[in-house]
Structure 1
Amino acid sequence: MDAIITVDPAQRIVLFNRAAEVVFRCSRLDALGAPLERFIPMRFRAAHQSHIEQFARTGITSRRMGDNLVLWGLRAGGEEFPLEASISQTREAAGNFYTVILRDITLRKHSEDRLKQQQAELRELSARVLEAREEEKTLIARELHDELGQLLTALKMDLAWLRERLPPAESELGGKAAQMDALLDRTVTSVRRISAELRPLMLDDLGLHDAVTWLTDDFAARSGVSCQLTLAEESALEGLERNVANTVYRVLQESLTNIARHAQAAHAWVMLAGDAEGLRIEIEDDGRGIGKEDLVRPRSLGLKGMRERVLYLGGTLEIDRAPRGGTRVRARVPRPHAAQGGT
């Protein structure tokens, strides 16, 4: 049962039902004739009076109070509690009478707060896992590029030395050595590709501008999809925090991977812009487009990973149908100082 309170034009209580006695822990006899502000926390009393006056001027019979906001009441013992309420007004000769129907939502608010806390903790944990993966990828990419790459290069040099010294008459050995040389070339190319997919070293060494350029060129060359890149001036992408650069790069990488695998597109467009507040990236294609069922599919880990990366940094990510008929991914990633300033 909901609590019901009616006040006269002077904002004094004229009706206080049994549920109101329970919610406010105050007897009906004690509440009747008392000012309504007795049950409103001090910091909200001025605003409440202003809202009542504004409601009276609208002429609306009834409406919900505090849309999208949590309202607070004050129990007789001084304890504050969250509530939801609706208000109605009745015009009488003596003035307007106002009736408030309210409900104590303490338990629900506690559950919502707990859920938000758990979601924040899960997002923090997810971010830490992503950071750990990023560090591990960087380490593996470095080892592949530096150690394995150097060993393969040394092996290729040794093979070249050996081929130069093979007797001309040993055509079979020469042919086998040539095959080995070609296999080494393919192995070196594969190592470089795997290393770059794990973590492009130019992202650390040269920055996001060059890494994005390389990634789009490599995507176009390997997929056959024409890719048009509109890139911010290099100065706009300088001095980026590592987690911001990582996030933007991974969003682009995942989006291009999805285009190559699923979109059946002929063209793709990438736009990256930056300013003092953060970065904005858009990736669009003219393929078959993504369906709503794809966005919520449990195995869509790549999309979920993108969203978690962006949300953790206080950014936004939108994935929808593109005007050209394909899929459009739009992300905005604020710089840390901008995200803090907006809170």
Structure 2
Amino acid sequence: MFTLFLFGAPAWAAAHPGGAAFLPVASLAGDRLRAALPELPLATLLVLAAAALGLLLHRRVQAAHDRYLALDGQLQAERSARAEAEAALAGSHEVLCRLVRQQESVREAERARIARDLHDELGHRLLALRVELALQQAAVRGTSAVLYDKLSQAIGTLDAALRSVRTTVGGLRPIAPGQSLRQAAERHLAEFARLHGLDYRFDAGLASEGGCDPESEVVLFRVLQEALSNVGRHAQASMVRVSLVEAAGKTVLRVEDDGIGPGVPASTTGRGRGVDGMRERTAALGGSLSLEAGRRGGTVLCATFPSRRLAPSG
């Protein structure tokens, strides 16, 4: 059969006369083989093309996987760098807050020293001078009306000076020993309203021993002082309301006036620097401060501190 396929049916029939009957079958098989032979190179090409395509796809998948690994490594490195930067920023913020607290502590200590000096030295000397003038006034009573009147004026001037000293001492040493934040705030508000001729309202839902630690109470009082000072200098108000309450684990100070509001630029009023200082001192102790226009005009300042239940100090 192999010879038949190689040399063709006629040659095979001539060599084997007895096989003529098999000639049609052999001829048909040879025709099919000759027809199939041209298709073999095409199939081989298709197999080779499929193999090349598979190899190309594999290389592309491998390259994509390598790029993914590189990008994932870069992402992890960026996340690590970001975490380190956030940790450094948090550390810097903590250091800054600690410095602000230390500065505030030094400032309060210096204010307390000045208050003691004013009270013990200047206050006592002025009081002694007033007593001396009162004795001199009593001695000249009925003898010299002109001298008596002059001594009365001098005593009146000394009384005004003593009130100023007491006010200054009260401002430098806001919360006296044995006094609560609520009492100190109410006293300061009443004195402020009297000096500026304003009506005022004070609401306190705070326990007498307070809800903050002493350091936060001092900063809260300083915020109240600065807020009222801004009201007296810039607000052109006729009424001021102060509330000091404790709710949801926070101590909240709210100062509201009925003046012209915060729309005036800070550069013309000088209010911006004071507000920035209050905000920094508040943030250093974990609190927050906001300043906005009131719903019915005026300005609303709100300072919030986390409450810390502490035993009242002696």
Distance 2:225 2:92 in 1: 29
* Corresponding residue for residue 160 of structure 1: 134
User: Is 1:207 aligned to residue 180 of structure 2?
Assistant: yes
User: Is 1:248 aligned to residue 297 of structure 2?
Assistant: no
Change over 3 Å in CA distance of 1:278–1:239 after alignment to 2: closer
2:98 aligns with one of 120, 124, 128: 124
User: Is 1:178 aligned to residue 152 of structure 2?
Assistant: yes
* Corresponding residue for residue 52 of structure 2: none
Distance 1:278 1:205 in 2: 23
Q: Which digits, 9 at most, give the CA deviation of each residue in 1:6-31, with x for residues without a partner?
A: xxxxxx98724659537738xxxxxx
Distance 2:154 2:301 in 1: 44
2:73 aligns with one of 6, 9, 24: 24
User: Is 1:232 aligned to residue 205 of structure 2?
Assistant: yes
User: Is 1:323 aligned to residue 295 of structure 2?
Assistant: yes
Distance 1:275 1:186 in 2: 41
| Structure with the higher strand share, 1 or 2 | 1
1:15 aligns with one of 54, 64, 67: 64
Shift of 1:278: 3.5
* Corresponding residue for residue 78 of structure 2: 82
* Corresponding residue for residue 192 of structure 1: 166
Distance 1:137 1:13 in 2: 72
Q: Which amino acid letter does the alignment assign opposite residue 248 of structure 1?
A: L
* Corresponding residue for residue 300 of structure 1: 272
Determine if contact 1:228/1:269 at 8 Å carries over to the other structure.
yes
Shift of 1:161: 1.3
Change over 3 Å in CA distance of 1:115–1:266 after alignment to 2: same
- Write out aligned runs for 1:140-155 (5 A): 140-155=114-129
Change over 3 Å in CA distance of 1:211–1:110 after alignment to 2: same
Distance 2:300 2:206 in 1: 23
Change over 3 Å in CA distance of 1:334–1:22 after alignment to 2: closer
Shift of 1:307: 1.0
Distance 1:281 1:239 in 2: 12
User: Is 1:169 aligned to residue 137 of structure 2?
Assistant: no
* Corresponding residue for residue 110 of structure 2: 136
Distance 2:118 2:157 in 1: 17
2:190 is paired with a residue whose SS is helix
Change over 3 Å in CA distance of 1:199–1:164 after alignment to 2: same
Determine if contact 1:244/1:335 at 8 Å carries over to the other structure.
no
Determine if contact 1:127/1:308 at 8 Å carries over to the other structure.
no
Q: Which has the higher contact order (CA 8 A, sep 6+)?
A: 2
Distance 2:251 2:166 in 1: 28
Shift of 1:190: 1.2
Shift of 1:119: 3.7
Using structure 1 for the length normalisation, give the TM-score. 0.64
Where structure 1 has 5 or more consecutive residues not aligned to the other structure, the ranges are 1-11, 26-71, 74-80, 84-104, 339-343
Q: Which amino acid letter does the alignment assign opposite residue 169 of structure 1?
A: T
Determine if contact 1:271/1:281 at 8 Å carries over to the other structure.
yes
Q: Which amino acid letter does the alignment assign opposite residue 252 of structure 1?
A: L
Q: Which amino acid letter does the alignment assign opposite residue 183 of structure 2?
A: D
Distance 2:143 2:122 in 1: 34
* Corresponding residue for residue 46 of structure 1: none
Please give the root-mean-square deviation of Cα atoms over the aligned residues, in Å.
Answer: 3.2
Determine if contact 2:174/2:221 at 8 Å carries over to the other structure.
no
Using structure 2 for the length normalisation, give the TM-score. 0.69
Shift of 1:208: 0.9
Q: Which amino acid letter does the alignment assign opposite residue 288 of structure 1?
A: I
2:202 is paired with a residue whose SS is strand
Shift of 1:201: 5.0
Shift of 1:151: 1.7
Distance 1:260 1:335 in 2: 29
Distance 2:309 2:162 in 1: 42
Q: Which range is displaced more, 240-249 or 252-261?
A: 240-249
Q: Which amino acid letter does the alignment assign opposite residue 24 of structure 1?
A: G
Distance 1:327 1:224 in 2: 18
Distance 2:163 2:295 in 1: 37
- Aligned pair count? 250
